Amino acid sequence: MKADEGRGALISPEEWRRPGVRWGVGGAQALLLIGLIVVGLGPLLWLAKSAITPTVDTISQPMALFPHGAAWRNLHVAWSDVNVGRYFWNTVVLAIGSWFVQVFVATTAGFALSVLRPTYARLLNALLLTTLFVPAIVLLVPLYIEIVRPPFIDHSFIDSYWAVWLPAGASAFNVVLVTRFFDNLPREIFEAARIDGAGPFRLFLYVVLPMSKPILGVVSVFAVLASWKDFLWPLLVLTNPDIQPLSVRLPTIQSQTELGVFLAALFIASLVPIIGFLIFQRSFLRGTGLGGAIKG
């Protein structure tokens, strides 16, 4: 065992060598891990299994594992006949748009508040923070009115993706998150860039953004997941079924199709967030990525 292994651990290597500690703590850890897997991964695996199980089997023998073989056609029927493919695509378009608007607003606002720091930045920061205390549900009606009758333009956004994309950008949480991250970037680097000849735009594009990959990952995950799961707002502003996302269409699908196909549709709907998390999880775990930038 390396000398420093166990440094900072709750149980020292010496204690760990005692059989009572090893079996007791080791057993508790194993049980905890199994519990977490059952609770966290269980429902997903169950859904995956049910998605490719014939409806009759799911109803008559829910605990059995493919008693009469797998029904891969559930996935095919859900994708083509029930139009999950189209709703899936709608959801992707909504998520990409929301993601872009959120990242754009969060990074540019964070850049202005943290790097450019106008004199009123502190006031603006305080105002932003206060909006976090307002429950989203309270804003539903005023926001709806704004979308139906936007200020200055005589054009309703109802039944257009802009009705989802634009409000998504108004996320004080993202702005605060990104501002705090930018606050912690070394200011000497910005100063070096300014002396090198970078104006605010190039400073943002060539220096600040590339240094902000970790926080962009975090904001992206939040943005995509929130957009993917969102039900109430798209239901309100997207009345045309052809442009509705999966989250809005799933209840209708449930009432119109057999259970197996519905579960297959649910499984398809949950795939993207899982894949997205697997791709972006490194952003959560990675450090700030400033290796060698400055000597601390």
Nearer to other proteins, 150 or 186 (CB): 186
Positive or negative torsion for Cα 221, 134, 165, 179 = negative
Is there binding between residue 294 and other proteins (CB under 8 A)? yes
Of 2, 7, 155, 295, the one binding other proteins (CB under 8 A) is: 295
Q: What are the DSSP E strand ranges found in 33-128?
A: none
In whole angstroms, how close is the CB of 7 to other proteins at the nearest point? 24
Of 136, 197, 240, 285, the one binding other proteins (CB under 8 A) is: 197
Question: How far is it, in rounded angstroms, from Cα 227 to Cα 221?
Answer: 10
Is there binding between residue 7 and other proteins (CB under 8 A)? no
Question: Which letter does DSSP use for residue 18 in this model?
Answer: S
229, 247 contact by CB (below 8 A): yes
Q: Which residue do the tokens 């993202």 mark?
A: 174
Annotate each residue in 159-188 with x if it binds other proteins (CB under 8 A) or - if it does not, as one string.
---------------------------x-x
Hey, which residues between 204 and 223 contact other proteins (CB under 8 A)?
A: 206-207, 210-211
Of 72, 127, 184, 191, the one binding other proteins (CB under 8 A) is: 191
Selected range binding other proteins among 3-11, 96-104, 216-224, 285-293, rule: CB under 8 A: 285-293
In whole angstroms, how close is the CB of 187 to other proteins at the nearest point? 9
Question: How far is it, in rounded angstroms, from Cα 132 to Cα 114?
Answer: 19
Nearer to other proteins, 73 or 194 (CB): 194
Q: Identify the CA nearest to 162 among candidates 141, 173, 146.
A: 146
Of 137, 199, 278, 285, the one binding other proteins (CB under 8 A) is: 199
In whole angstroms, how close is the CB of 143 to other proteins at the nearest point? 38
| Rg of the chain over all Cα atoms, to the nearest angstrom | 25
Count CA within 13 A, CB hemisphere, residue 141.
1
Of 21, 25, 193, 226, the one binding other proteins (CB under 8 A) is: 193
Tokens of residue 293, six digits: 């930038």
In whole angstroms, how close is the CB of 289 to other proteins at the nearest point? 7
Nearer to other proteins, 188 or 242 (CB): 188
Of 96, 139, 189, 225, the one binding other proteins (CB under 8 A) is: 189
Residue 266, C-beta contacts closer than 8 angstroms, at least 6 positions apart: 47, 51, 250
Question: How far is it, in rounded angstroms, from Cα 199 to Cα 275?
Answer: 38
Q: How many residues bind other proteins (CB under 8 A)?
A: 25
Is there binding between residue 287 and other proteins (CB under 8 A)? no
Amino acid, single-letter form, for residue 116: L
Hey, which residues between 46 and 75 contact other proteins (CB under 8 A)?
A: none
Tokens of residue 170, six digits: 């108004």
Q: Identify the CA nearest to 107 among candidates 251, 214, 225.
A: 214
User: Rule CB under 8 A: which residues touch other proteins?
Assistant: 186, 188-189, 191-199, 202, 206-207, 210-211, 289-296
